[in-house]
Amino acid sequence: MTPTSPDGSENVRAKLTELQQNPEMMTHARVELRDAETAVALAEQQVKNGDSALAAHRLYMADRMVEIARAKGQARMLESERALLGEQRDAARLAARTREADRAHADAESARSSQMQAADLAAREAEKLQRQIDMLEAKATERGLVLTLGDVLFATGRDDIQGGTNKNLERLVAFLNQYPERKVLIEGHTDNVGSAMFNQNLSRQRAESVRDYLNSRGIDNRRMTVSGYGFERPVASNATAIGRQQNRRVEVVIQNGE
């Protein structure tokens, strides 16, 4: 069979192609687009031994390189427009010194300044969001940001969260408070030790415990949906202790904003 590109690489390639077809972007971000092309090409390659973590890392890095190229290009375009605006302003003052002309020019300057301030604010918000995502150690997927909470939260066979402060949960609370429009899916998973019914109930109860914790920290229940999948969706082999530990988890999917 012909190897296919890793899941998600088509979206990153499409984003890159869109930028490459923009003459302004090719002018103002040529070096960044070249680096992004290299990263995307690497992300499209099949990894050895089906290493999903490596594939996901390559895909994440490719996506960041594309977004960096976009941000650099837009910033330089704005700088170029600002320089052009300065030239137009000088020409207008030479051509017409009436009060109406000055007022019209001031209005245009204000509009351009507001546009640039909005673009600058958007760039700062994007950087802030990325820093918070990095702190969460969340994985970007098509479903949204996925934060995996390992079984260290729970004692064996129990669904109550163990005592002590959990940094990942506290960071999640801070993130959800910062972005109140984001909704979350809380999904419990187990290994295959025990009956299907037991694991189904345990996985849901653990997900509910995470929901209750977040609610106790001020997160509205209406923003959270809980599911339990038992051992239906393993991420590793249940044949080894390490694999079973990886399968015992609660995944919090922070859905993309509207």
Q: Where are the domains of the chain?
A: 9-128, 139-254
CATH topology of domain 139-254: 60s Ribosomal Protein L30; Chain: A; (3.30.1330)
In this predicted structure, what is the pLDDT of residue 121? 60
Region 198-203: what's the mean pLDDT?
95
- Give the Å distances, CA to CA, from 160 to 193, 194, 196, 210: 19, 19, 20, 9
Residue 76 DSSP code: H
Q: Is the pLDDT assigned to residue 128 strictly greater than 60?
A: no
Region 197-206: what's the mean pLDDT?
95
Q: What is the pLDDT of residues 26-40, one digit of tens each?
A: 999 999 999 999 999
Region 89-112: what's the mean pLDDT?
79
CA separation for the pair 67, 43 (Å, rounded): 15
Q: What is the dihedral of CA 150, 231, 7, 49, to 10 degrees?
A: 80
The amino acid sitting at 163 is G
Selected residue with higher pLDDT from 124 and 231: 231
Q: What's the mean per-residue pLDDT of the chain?
A: 86
Main-chain phi, psi angles of 124, to 5 degrees = -65, -40
Q: Is the pLDDT assigned to residue 72 strictly greater than 90?
A: yes
* pLDDT confidence band for 2 (50 / 70 / 90): very low
Task: Give the pairing of strands 224-228 and 144-150.
Answer: unpaired
In this predicted structure, what is the pLDDT of residue 242? 93
In the chain, what percentage of residues exceed pLDDT 70? 88
**pTM (2 d.p.):** 0.50
Region 5-16: what's the mean pLDDT?
88
In this predicted structure, what is the pLDDT of residue 1? 42
Selected residue with higher pLDDT from 163 and 164: 163
In this predicted structure, what is the pLDDT of residue 63? 93
